[in-house]
Amino acid sequence: MAQDKIVISGIQQAGIGVPDVHEAWAWYRKNFGTDIRVFEEKAVAQLMLPYTGGKPRSRHAALAINLQGGGGFEIWQYTERTPQPPLFTPEMGDLGIYIVKIKSFDISSAHQLLQKNGVTISGIENSPGNEKFFFAKDLYGNPFQVVETKEPKFRDEEKPTGSVYGAVLGVTDIAASAKFYAEILGYDKIVYDEEGKFDDISWIEGGNGNFRRMLLTHTKPRKGAFSKMFGSSQLELVQKLDGKPRKIFENRMWGDLGFIHLCFDIYGMDAMRDLCASKGHPFTIDSFKGQGERFDMGEAAGHFSYIEDPDGTLIEFVETHKVPLVKKIGWYLNMSKRNPEKPLPDWMLKAMRFSRVK
């Protein structure tokens, strides 16, 4: 079976389209601690043509992580055109990635830090799954949900948060979406599945409506090179029961302002290609077919691909072949020569602290 040949390490990153990479990254460093540079590059996006108006587009991108745990941010800026905002104010339940979740190891301290920094935040709430959380908006108005987790920090840097823990996704058919995320990405555990009005989301635009909400996580621990650093993750599916949802990226390009994709670090791209095709969600982007053996991003290299979930939300897969651990001394890790299920030694990943940006 194709699934037997696939290793999912976890959420590698959430893509965020911004008007200014350095301005955005400074904000994310200050508030979410994503101060480790995995790569930063100016280049042309050659292979995303179905989502970039049929033309290659110049861009400036950086991948930043927080060594305390969680996925990172791919901070992405068009450099030849002005990135466009949504055509309307997105609301809870609109289709796509509406909210990115952030891990917190101390919800009160995280709330106090963001309040001190002048960030627009809600009060601390309790979810239907009895998790403590609060909402925050970045300098562009993108909503985040800071969620308290019992997971230990991967490396203790005395920060109240890690980084990406998952996402809140607007869907049209919650059962179909749950099946998709279970069969392809292993989100097979339903933490809660409830309908109605919810006080805990009333702070968010459109949050006073009627919804069906389903929180998913995975019963099997993630495996693979970066699994201990990424840790566990969760996805919340939200279906509007009042009115018709709109697509957040309606009539816009991938890379425009907002949350552009959710990316999973995997091993076994060929098996994943077969699995997705068998489930009716074939790759829409495949770097192997475009570049041959490896896609090179200067400081990192590998294969990448995209699929669409049942509502067209973009899910990226990255199979990493080369990653910089300590760029200053030219220490790059060749991922092709190791057991794909085995996590990298903690000390090796923690050496990435020498790539810190202040």
Name the fold adopted by 2-355.
2,3-Dihydroxybiphenyl 1,2-Dioxygenase; domain 1 (3.10.180)
pLDDT of res. 263: 98
pLDDT of res. 295: 52
CA distance 319 to 306: 12
Q: And the tokens for 203?
A: 């702070």
CA distance 325 to 311: 36
pLDDT of res. 248: 98
pLDDT of res. 220: 94
CA distance 157 to 160: 9
DSSP 204: S
pLDDT of res. 290: 47
CA distance 158 to 177: 37
pLDDT of res. 313: 98
pLDDT of res. 325: 63
Q: Give the start-to-end residue ranges of the domains of the chain.
A: 2-355
Nearest Cα residue to 134 out of 193, 198, 201: 201
CA distance 168 to 93: 9
DSSP 356: B
Asked whether 279 and 19 are in contact (CB, 8 A), the reply is no
pLDDT of res. 2: 56
Residues of the chain scoring pLDDT < 50: 1, 290-294, 297-298
pLDDT of res. 292: 44
CA distance 19 to 21: 7
CA distance 330 to 304: 24
